[in-house]
Amino acid sequence: MIPQTELHICDWRSELRHAVSDGETLLARLQLNPEQLGYSALAARDFPVLVPRPYLQRITPGDPDDPLLRQVLATGQETLVEPGYSDDPVGETGATIQRPGVIQKYRGRVLLILAGGCAINCRYCFRRHFPYQENRNSRQEWLQALEHVAADTSITEVILSGGDPLLVADAALAELVATIAAIPHVRRLRVHTRLPVVIPQRVTDGLLQALTGSRLRCVMVIHSNHARELDASVAQAMQRLREADVELLNQSVLLAGVNNHAATLVNLSERLFEIGVRPYYLHLLDKVRGAAHFDVPQAEGIALIDAMATELPGYLVPRLVHEEAGQPGKTRIA
């Protein structure tokens, strides 16, 4: 295993505290003009700008079309009212199990909303309007929530989500995972997170122990939309996770102006495989209010998958999927 010291790690919580939290500062650091890019303070009030330094360092200064910048900059397009876009595009608020912080949409799996924040605010996030304040649990409330999991023997997988579940401290995560592992019919722990991509320093010795120190098989689904997000520090973090026997998958969102070109998606899959992560899902945009300008038509998504299939072996072509409220699982498009 790569020693943590070799990753040149400073404390990941310090990176969170020093993240850029307003658009003017973000653009000033990138030597860009807010008016030129259509920056909107109004959009940022609705959903704040948040970009940590490790991610900021991968954005090219002076480039208004940078695909990483486009994912995090609040613009006036977010304030436009578009038919068919809502605050709850996948119907999650109706899927809670009579208990805050717990969502069950699919048979055999239950999702726990562990944190209401993220290390980065992606402008297309389908939970950008999620009522996190109504879904915060104390330690005792989480123990009570897990009583539901213990009582339902059909549940074989617990998914940790958010926000970003890796905002939770290592010791608290370890306690929660140990409690889940004590439920005999649960076999797998799945973690959905963007933190190891945007702040690779989050992959600490304590985190590895928390996730792999029980009998549960651990799957981590990271979230990367562009190969330039995956620099050497991310590669090292992925290597540490693999060496700890964490299964690594990636999910992306198909985003106009970010990755809606076949060559871009091919490069992403190739880079993911280089660092030991299997391309898994390519999501069509969830129609969340404020994100309509990122939408890519389904037909274009299918054409992109077909183009990828001519360039890559099948195991490097992600599944094109869409999530629909009330469906028993994700709808596979291609």
Instruction: Report the distance separating Cα 301 and Cα 45, nearest Å.
Output: 32
The SS3 of residue 320 is strand
**Residues for the chain: how many in total?**
334
pLDDT of residue 102: 87
Instruction: Report the distance separating Cα 198 and Cα 230, nearest Å.
Output: 9
Q: What is the CA radius of gyration of the chain?
A: 19
Q: What are phi and psi of 219, to 5 degrees?
A: -120, 130
Residue for token pair 């091919």? 266
Residues 61 and 31 sit within 8 Å (Cβ to Cβ): yes
Tokens of 261: 């070109």
Q: What are phi and psi of 102, to 5 degrees?
A: -120, 125
Q: Is 118 annotated as a binding residue?
A: yes
Taking the domain 86-332, which CATH number applies?
3.20.20.70
pLDDT of residue 98: 59
pLDDT in tens, the chain (334 residues): 444 544 444 699 999 999 999 999 999 999 999 988 999 999 999 999 999 999 999 999 999 999 999 999 999 999 999 999 999 888 877 766 657 788 888 889 999 989 888 999 999 999 898 876 677 777 788 888 899 899 999 999 999 998 899 999 999 999 999 999 999 999 999 999 999 999 999 999 999 999 999 999 999 999 999 999 999 999 999 999 999 999 999 999 999 999 999 999 999 999 999 999 999 999 999 999 999 999 999 999 999 999 999 999 999 999 999 988 777 778 999 9
Instruction: Report the distance separating Cα 159 and Cα 165, nearest Å.
Output: 10
In the chain, domain spans: 86-332
**Closest among 332, 322, 334 to 89, alpha carbons compared:** 322
Q: Is 122 annotated as a binding residue?
A: yes
Instruction: Report the distance separating Cα 276 and Cα 314, nearest Å.
Output: 16
- The identity of residue 123, as a single letter, is R
pLDDT of residue 101: 82
pLDDT of residue 7: 47
